[in-house]
Amino acid sequence: MLVFVLILLLLAAAFGILAVVVKTALIIALSVTLAVIFLGAIAYYYGRYRFNRFRREVERHNLPPAGAP
């Protein structure tokens, strides 16, 4: 696979489009990275929200009645 990629890069360099190929690869790589970071942040905040909601529910059920001594 690595040899195939190197051959493609050499062909791109030979035809003078190496800069376009590198820029396109960089845009694709950065887009994927940004999407993973964005989805990770969404998952983190959703998990934190669900955990806090669960904690409040447990605390509400464990409180003693209002008139208890």
Lowest mean pLDDT among 40-44, 54-58, 65-69: 65-69
CA distance 18 to 11: 8
d(CA 44, CA 48): 6
Residues 12-37: tens digit of each pLDDT: 989 889 899 999 999 999 999 999 99
- Kindly state the average pLDDT of the residues 46-53: 97
- Helical H segments across the chain, by residue range: 2-15, 18-62
CA 69 to chain centre: 51
| pLDDT band at residue 67 under the 50/70/90 scheme | low
Domain ranges of the chain: 31-61
DSSP state of 17: -
